Structure 1
Amino acid sequence: MSRFSKWRQSENAQGLALVSPTFIYALLLLAAPIALVVALSFWTQDYLTLDKTPTLNNYREAWGTEKWGWTWTEMKAWGSQIYTVLMARSLKLSMLVTFFTILLAFPVAYYVSFYVDPKRKPFWIFMITIPFWTSYLMRIFLWKVILGYNGVVNGSLMGLGIIESPIREIAYSQNAVIITLAHAWVPFAILTIFVALEKIDRSLLEAAEDLGDGPFRRFIRITLPLAMPGVVAATVIVFIPTIGDYVTPRLVGGPNGLMISNMIELQFKKANNAPLGAALALSAMFLVTLISLIFVWMNRKYLTGNGR
């Protein structure tokens, strides 16, 4: 038997054979596209001409570093750059969407986990997944109808005599983006938090009750800390996709609701400046990664009490 034949029958060869398909998949469909975007961000495009000479001009333009300074006028000029404004707006809207999504999801997940009969829990989970049955675009257009100038909300408020004229700030605004995205992602958050709540040992709550803790103290000292892994997971699941969403801001956001993803789309399509779009995309990816890691670290420190 040859040396190669012996190697093929070894555990190392069998392990490599199992890992290779996944590694090749990740390399071709994940690592390679990101590497191309990184390379593209350092190039320059002039209409149809692509100059592959490495440069940082795209990042300088994306961050407006030529406006950086210590005087109030210089800092104000930098803060008014369109790309930095959109980046800050995207972070703000994504954080607000994440906050309201978790705020809405936790009570529902808590109720299903602790108060619904175990035999009826599958039915509740089934009902929570119903929004997934319809197209995401369909849900966005339905929110346009609900929040529109002559939509359900304004029509109901006018019919009740609460307002005299339609509220313009509801539709085609940042509020509409937050409402639509929160509605779209709340089922994901509910299911994620529900799984964490289901893993909590109920005997811990019984022991705390025997020791004299009331419902609120049991929730603060036992339920919430043990549910934090699910809350953290739901936060990451909601925060990362929403900051890169461009369909919702474009359809219901209006001029003041556009986000950095809409500018990236504009650079790749109408502006025909793919390198700048790649630099904006990588800049947004860097910010999302940084904020996500900081949030996970803070929650891990909170959970363990020592930050290790």
Structure 2
Amino acid sequence: MTGRNEGAILGDRLRRFFRSGEGTGLLLVSPTALYALLLLAVPLIAILMISFWTQTGIRDFDTTLTLANYREALSDPLYRQLMLRSLMVSGLVTLITVVLAFPIAYFVSFGVRAEHKSLWIFLITIPFWTSYLIRVFLWKVILGFNGVLNSGLQAIGIIEDPLTFILYNVNAVIITLAHAYAPFAILPIFVALEKIDRSLLEASRDLGESRTMTFLRVTLPLAAPGVVAAVLIVFIPTIGDYVTPRLVGGPGGLMIANMIQTQFLRLNNAPLGATLAVLAMLIVAVIAVVFMLIGYRASGGGKAGGRRK
């Protein structure tokens, strides 16, 4: 009887909990959380575990935990070079993309009428209509030895011989990635700019600040969360991109993701590939945290919190 009473009490508490706002919210979030756990957390844990194993055959592993893969990944000059190149390419792509995206987002937010902003956003998302692979191949056509760019420059007499430094190297990877991820940088910056209270800008001008100082001291700090979001949205996927370096990078444009793919699919060394993936994720995580802290400080988060107190 006591067990039945305790079961009834527990069941009654559960019913009341799931009928409450917190319980309803938990039920709504649970499927998504379970989905994310199965498709994100479990594979990441598996990759982390494999990185400590040793490959003994095509499909056989020695599950004895070892740091040999990490020692090899950190000591081999080839892996260090690929990692540094990946960071350099991703950093340059992020810098170029965000610098070019900010004026566009600023113009759409402050220079376009409200009824026309949807049209501009629609135009910005047009590149998403085509496949990513098609866009990469189009850049091969544009940057090729006999491509559109070289043919055009030769036709107008600017160059005599085709340019050879714009395809099958790091430059081609940077150009292609910057174009591919431009919309991802424009949209978060635009959203941040749209949230800015225009009265703050008017107050700054009324207090005697110039347009430039108003932008630097008011607009830019308030848009910092959007800029940080754009940086992360561009930086994180580009450092793991292996399609673009493979198609337009050539031997001198390959990145760490290409080596990870090679270790898994060609060399049959999944533990070393997993190790390189873990190291890349750790580096990206550290850089992402640093950018988030910079964005928090730039937006005056700490000062704002102090004023609320």
Residue type at the aligned position of 2:54: T
1:10 is paired with a residue whose SS is: helix
1:62-101 pair list within 5 angstroms: 62-64=73-75, 81-101=77-97
Partner of 1:11: 17
Partner of 2:249: 253
Aligned-residue sequence identity (percent) comes to: 59
Which digits, 9 at most, give the CA deviation of each residue in 1:102-137, with x for residues without a partner? 011000000000011111111111100100000000
40, 44, 48: which is aligned to 1:34?
Answer: 44
Partner of 1:104: 100
CA distance in 1, matches of 2:193, 2:294: 20
CA distance in 2, matches of 1:174, 1:27: 36
Partner of 1:192: 188
Q: CA deviation at 1:277?
A: 0.2
CA distance in 1, matches of 2:69, 2:84: 18
Residue type at the aligned position of 2:38: L
CA distance in 2, matches of 1:140, 1:203: 43
Q: CA deviation at 1:306?
A: 5.3
Partner of 2:152: 156
Partner of 1:53: 64
Q: CA deviation at 1:4?
A: 3.8
21, 25, 28: which is aligned to 2:31?
Answer: 21
1:169 is paired with a residue whose SS is: coil
Q: CA deviation at 1:204?
A: 1.1
2:114 is paired with a residue whose SS is: coil
Which digits, 9 at most, give the CA deviation of each residue in 1:25-65, with x for residues without a partner? 2221111111110110000003323111111111111111x
TM-score normalised by the chain length of structure 1: 0.91
Residue type at the aligned position of 1:20: S
Residues 232 and 288, structure 2, Cα contact 8 Å, conserved in 1: yes
Partner of 1:283: 279
Determine whether 1:138 maps to 2:138.
Answer: no
CA distance in 2, matches of 1:62, 1:10: 54
Which digits, 9 at most, give the CA deviation of each residue in 1:48-95, with x for residues without a partner? 23111111111111111xxxxxxxxxxxxx6xx110000000000000
Residue type at the aligned position of 2:42: A
1:105-120 pair list within 5 angstroms: 105-120=101-116
Partner of 1:43: 53
Root mean square deviation of aligned Cα: 1.7
Q: CA deviation at 1:12?
A: 5.8
CA distance in 2, matches of 1:32, 1:277: 17
Determine whether 1:264 maps to 2:260.
Answer: yes
CA distance in 1, matches of 2:116, 2:302: 40
CA distance in 1, matches of 2:295, 2:31: 35
2:61 is paired with a residue whose SS is: strand
Farther-moved stretch of structure 1 (127-136 vs 297-306) = 297-306
CA distance in 2, matches of 1:23, 1:116: 39
TM-score normalised by the chain length of structure 2: 0.91
Residue type at the aligned position of 2:13: W
Q: CA deviation at 1:298?
A: 2.1
CA distance in 2, matches of 1:215, 1:289: 36
In structure 1, stretches of 5+ residues that fail to align are: 65-77
2:181 is paired with a residue whose SS is: helix
Q: CA deviation at 1:300?
A: 1.6
CA distance in 1, matches of 2:135, 2:38: 33
Q: CA deviation at 1:227?
A: 0.7
Partner of 1:174: 170
Residue type at the aligned position of 1:131: P
CA distance in 1, matches of 2:156, 2:177: 28
CA distance in 2, matches of 1:22, 1:124: 32
Which digits, 9 at most, give the CA deviation of each residue in 1:154-213, with x for residues without a partner? 111111211111111001111111111010111111111000000111111111222222
